[in-house]
Amino acid sequence: MTDLDARRTPVTQRAVEEIKRRIADGRFGPGDRLPTERDLAADLGVSRSSMREAIRALITLGVLESRHGAGVYVTALRPSDLLETFSVLAEVSQGATLLEVLQVRRMLEPAATALAAARADDAQIAHIGTLLEDIDGGDGTVSADLGFHQAIVAATGNATLAAVNDGLSSASFHTRVWAGHREAGLTAKLREDHHRIHEALLARDPDAARAAATAHVLRVEDWLRAELRGQADLRGQAAAGPGDQGPADADPAGTVDPAAARER
Amino acid sequence: MTDLDARRTPVTQRAVEEIKRRIADGRFGPGDRLPTERDLAADLGVSRSSMREAIRALITLGVLESRHGAGVYVTALRPSDLLETFSVLAEVSQGATLLEVLQVRRMLEPAATALAAARADDAQIAHIGTLLEDIDGGDGTVSADLGFHQAIVAATGNATLAAVNDGLSSASFHTRVWAGHREAGLTAKLREDHHRIHEALLARDPDAARAAATAHVLRVEDWLRAELRGQADLRGQAAAGPGDQGPADADPAGTVDPAAARER
DNA sequence: GTGCCAGAGTGGTCCGACCACCAACGGGTG
DNA sequence: CACCCGTTGGTGGTCGGACCACTCTGGCAC
């Protein structure tokens, strides 16, 4: 079977899988340096070009990293290493998919915030308080907001959770959210949400934290829903649009709870 | 600035970002065919080798796909396309990280199952019932189990949610779980969980669905915790272990709720 | 002992060639 | 005329080799 498989499988892909296998079974451990591209290519019986493509793929996955002139290394294989890639989702996605992303965040962030309320230590909560002041201070609001939320999720002590949530929150999306709220004069509401979350953390109250986080995500979700509907209306007026281009991706991501009901 | 940036930025990376930019601003849309590697390389002023590495990276990210002899195409950019990559996390991870993964699933799956109970149509629920019989039938249990859970999450209608959850459940991990439960004579318990979930879906009862899903994930989590502790004990007896290899990743991912309390 | 510098080794880039594969065009056949 | 099938051009896949940019290390000079 191996032979038949190998015959029709692209050489590069085979190389990728062979390296993954060697990492999985421990021949290459986290932080280890790999043999040189030339040696590895000879070892696996492929050209250096193909080997480089395989390495490039594994670098993209966050499994390897290369240092010019020094060698190729296995990363620490932390969740944050391996999940960095999927920020492309929030980067490239538009429209309905963004709503889906927010729906997932509405499942994760409240639970994460509640966890943080129960487990964060004083230093972490103090740090979060500092970030909150940065937001209100007004300078670099977007990145400050991003940092605030990341710090909360990080305070859960669950690196995987933090990495997943970070992936679902992209800087570019946050920028749009803030711009949209500023335009609508709603920044005060966001501020209010943040303070409520912080107070819940200070009080070590998981339930309050969960509720505050839910309200926050919901607010953003409502805004996005309205904005998307606005865009759709504009397009609808202009023309029926011959190719709306979306074959799949189905319905506009409805919801179960009141937020959706309100919308309909 | 552009010039200075460009000078020290690897050519391949610049190519990756340029293509991403062209996708983001719509010059390349979902399903479109890209210019040939040779043309694209000439256009961006890089060699074909570097262009191929850039394309390879974007293929790994799920943004592009190439068809031998036919051309390179932009994918549909569905969440499932873009999130396929992160199954490496569940593939490569071990020990404490797996616990973290389960903790995230404990936030997602209950919410997703509840959503499915509210939104799945009759056909979807019937299909899920079929998969349930496949599991009990006993043949290909692992893949059947995987299919059961995936079908439920898919029934939420949120493709992003489904893709994220799939990424957190790898086939190899499921295999370990089933083997471990069979060994411990707990397969009946898993079966029981599945039926409870299905009944909640049939009854369109989100609360019951949430509870059943939580119990199920919790059961797996408990088992994994015990197994990891067993392994740690073994290692502890044998030797103090010079390189436990984990520099970061911190504490063993505790929990807030009863499951953790029971454990301590 | 300390600092610097040159060399060897490594990844980064480029080039040109050839192979494997697909798709569309064409001529042949019914 | 309609349909089938082989040809042919163009595409991605692989290869080998060359050179550049960078890092690290060991030995030299001070």
Identify the DSSP state of B68: T
pLDDT value for B114: 95
Q: How far is B24 from chain A (nearest CA, A)?
A: 6
What is the three-class DSSP state of A230? helix
Residue of A nearest to B31 (CA): A245
Considering only CA atoms, name the residue closest to the C1' of nucleotide C16. B48
A67 pairs with which residues across the strands?
A71
- A71-124: per-residue pLDDT in tens? 999 999 998 888 888 778 877 777 788 899 999 999 999 999 999 999 999 999
- B10-28: per-residue pLDDT in tens? 999 999 999 999 998 889 9
Q: Indicate left, alpha or beta for B95 from its phi (over 0: left) and psi (-120 to 50: alpha).
A: left
Q: Indicate left, alpha or beta for A32 from its phi (over 0: left) and psi (-120 to 50: alpha).
A: beta
Which of B61, B101, B168 to substitute to test the interface with A, most A CBs within 10 Å?
A: B61
pLDDT value for B72: 98
Residue of B nearest to A20 (CA): B92
From CA B3, how far away is CA A264, in angstroms rounded? 51
CA A180 to chain centre: 21
Whether residues A104 and B108 touch (CB distance < 8 A) is answered with yes
Angle, nearest 10°, between helix axes B141-154 and B171-183?
Answer: 120
Whether residues A62 and B108 touch (CB distance < 8 A) is answered with no
A50: CB within 7 A of chain D nucleic strand? yes
Q: How confident is the model at residue B144 (pLDDT cuts 50, 70, 90)?
A: confident
pLDDT value for B74: 97
Mean pLDDT, residues B131-157 taken together = 84
Whether residues A79 and B97 touch (CB distance < 8 A) is answered with yes
Inter-chain CB pairs, A–B, below 8 Å? 166
- A1-46: per-residue pLDDT in tens? 444 445 578 999 999 999 999 998 889 999 999 999 999 999 999 9
From CA A117, how far away is CA A95, in angstroms rounded? 33
Mean pLDDT, residues B147-168 taken together = 92
Residue–nucleotide distance: A74 CA to D20 C1' (Å):
26
- CA-based torsion, B232, B180, A80, A17: positive or negative: positive
Q: Tokens for A63?
A: 């499994």
* Greatest mean pLDDT among A163-167, A257-261, B142-146, B155-159: B155-159
pLDDT value for A133: 87
Residue B143 main-chain phi, psi, to 5 deg: -65, -30
- B212-236: per-residue pLDDT in tens? 999 999 999 999 998 888 777 776 6
- A51-81: per-residue pLDDT in tens? 999 999 999 999 999 999 999 999 999 988 8
Mean pLDDT, residues B124-153 taken together = 85
Distances (CA, A) of A8 to A51, A56, B68, B193, B252: 18, 21, 12, 42, 43
- CA-based torsion, B118, B123, B129, B132: positive or negative: negative
Residue of A nearest to B119 (CA): A256
Residues of B with CB below 8 A from A253's CB? 157-158
Q: Which nucleotides of strand C lie under 7 Å from a protein CB?
A: 9-17, 20-23
Mean pLDDT, residues A180-203 taken together = 88
- What nucleotide is nearest A51 when CA is compared to C1'? D14
**Nearest alpha-carbon partner for B76 in B86, B84, B65:** B65
pLDDT value for B90: 76
The b-or-e profile of B166-188 (16+ CB within 10 A means b, else e) is bbbbbeebbeebbeebeeeebee
Which helix or strand (DSSP H or E) is residue A171 part of? helix A171-183
- A134-154: per-residue pLDDT in tens? 887 766 677 788 889 999 999
- A215-262: per-residue pLDDT in tens? 999 999 999 998 888 777 776 655 443 433 333 333 333 334 433 334
From CA A101, how far away is CA B159, in angstroms rounded? 9
From CA B53, how far away is CA B192, in angstroms rounded? 49
Q: Tokens for B38?
A: 């040779």
Identify the DSSP state of A34: P
Residue of B nearest to A12 (CA): B56
Q: How far is B215 from chain A (nearest CA, A)?
A: 16
- B185-212: per-residue pLDDT in tens? 888 888 899 999 999 999 999 999 999 9
More confident: B156 or B83: B156
Average pLDDT, chain B: 83
Which of A21, A50, A92, A205 to substitute to test the interface with B, most B CBs within 10 Å?
A: A92
Whether residues B62 and A107 touch (CB distance < 8 A) is answered with no
Q: How confident is the model at residue B259 (pLDDT cuts 50, 70, 90)?
A: very low
- B38-94: per-residue pLDDT in tens? 999 999 999 999 999 999 999 999 999 999 999 999 999 998 888 888 778 877 777
CA B86 to chain centre: 6
Whether residues A159 and B250 touch (CB distance < 8 A) is answered with yes
B106: CB within 7 A of chain D nucleic strand? no
pLDDT value for B35: 98
Considering only CA atoms, name the residue closest to the C1' of nucleotide C21. B69
More confident: B143 or A221: A221
Distances (CA, A) of A51 to A18, B94, B116: 11, 27, 44
Q: How far is B136 from chain A (nearest CA, A)?
A: 30
B71-74 vs B64-67, strand pairing mode: antiparallel
DSSP calls for B139-206: TTHHHHHHHHHHHHHHTTT-HHHHHHHHHHS-HHHHHHHHHHHHHTT-HHHHHHHHHHHHHHHHTT-H
Residue–nucleotide distance: B69 CA to C29 C1' (Å):
29
